[in-house]
Amino acid sequence: MADLNTPNLNMKSDKYIFKKKLNLRRKSKRRLFAESACLFVLSLLLVYVNYLIPNKDLLLQNLPNNINKSFILIIDLFLNLYEIFLVIFIFVSSFATLILLIGSFYRLFRIGKRRSKQIIYK
């Protein structure tokens, strides 16, 4: 009976476990102004970079054609993957065959070279 745990009535429930760790303070006006100024400067920088890009209209007009060409190239790539893997298999299997043949000839050479010694037991 000594190992029974009695419930502790002073423990808080688990749903409030992280409530004290949240930062509930509001940001100051100065910090809010600084953040909004940074966002404004960043947006102006992006607008300027977009302004510097030449031939935007031509790029946007050719976008569907470029996407179509990309899909055709991807389909061709997947169709040619079979041949690529087949060629890789041919090279790997040829290399493995060469190693196995060299190993078998080396063992045959060692067997032929070995001199038989007969041990005479008395």
Domain ranges in the chain are 24-53, 61-113
What are the angstrom distances between the C-alpha of 72 and each of 31, 33, 36, 81, 87? 51, 50, 45, 14, 23
Which two structure tokens, joined as six digits, stand for 30? 């100065």
Residue type at position 102: I
| Per-residue pLDDT, 52 | 94
Give the model confidence (pLDDT) of 52-80 as tens digits.
999 999 999 999 999 999 999 999 999 99
Which pTM does this prediction carry?
A: 0.41
Give the model confidence (pLDDT) of 12-55 as tens digits.
556 666 666 666 678 888 999 999 999 999 999 999 999 999 99
Give the model confidence (pLDDT) of 99-121 as tens digits.
999 999 999 888 888 766 666 66
